[in-house]
Amino acid sequence: MKIGVISDTHKLMRPEALAALHGVDKILHAGDIGHPDVLDALREIAPLTAIKGNIDTQPWCAEIPERLQFEIAQVPILLTHNIKMTPRNEYASAKLIIYGHSHKPDIHYDNDRLFFNPGSAGPRRFKLPVCLGLLHIDDQKITPEIIHLL
């Protein structure tokens, strides 16, 4: 299974991001969506699960949750925006923790947990890369990948 992971779009849905997500089985958006058109564009590619970030305060995103816990291919996942604001007890059942907010792509492990930040696919911030992520899940083995868009 191939999962597309995107974050911090801040109203900008780049054609390069849409192209990079083509062919994924599912898309996860880790917050700071910025505009509902972003979600509509992603839903045209694959089923979408999204959470809101700190900029998502408008009425259109009132029903979008701040954090979600769910499973994909028997992998327990926590999807959050700001990892520093997420209570550590919420990590307990997750094997994969996906987050955004920092605009910095990151792949690291803490014991048996994979922490994955796809970086920002929205407007460039400082000199940080513009990117998104892919997760390849096979028999509960997760292979993370960062895709640089620009």
Q: Residue 119 in contact with residue 128, Cβ under 8 Å?
A: yes
Residues 62-104: pLDDT tens digits? Answer: 999 999 999 999 999 999 999 999 998 888 899 999 999 999 9
What is the spatial distance between Cα 136 and Cα 30, in angstroms, rounded to a whole number? Answer: 17
Q: What are the backbone dihedrals phi and psi of residue 10, each rounded to the nearest 5 degrees, phi first?
A: 45, 50
- Sign of the torsion formed by the C-alpha atoms of 119, 144, 5 and 79: negative
CA 142, CA 20: separation in Å to the nearest integer? 19
Domain assignments of the chain as residue spans, ordered by start: 2-148
> According to the model, what pLDDT value does residue 129 have?
97
**Whether this model's pTM surpasses 0.95:** yes
2-148 CATH? 3.60.21.10
The percent of residues in the chain predicted with pLDDT above 90, rounded, is: 92
pLDDT tens-digit series, residues 98-122:
999 999 999 999 989 999 999 999 9
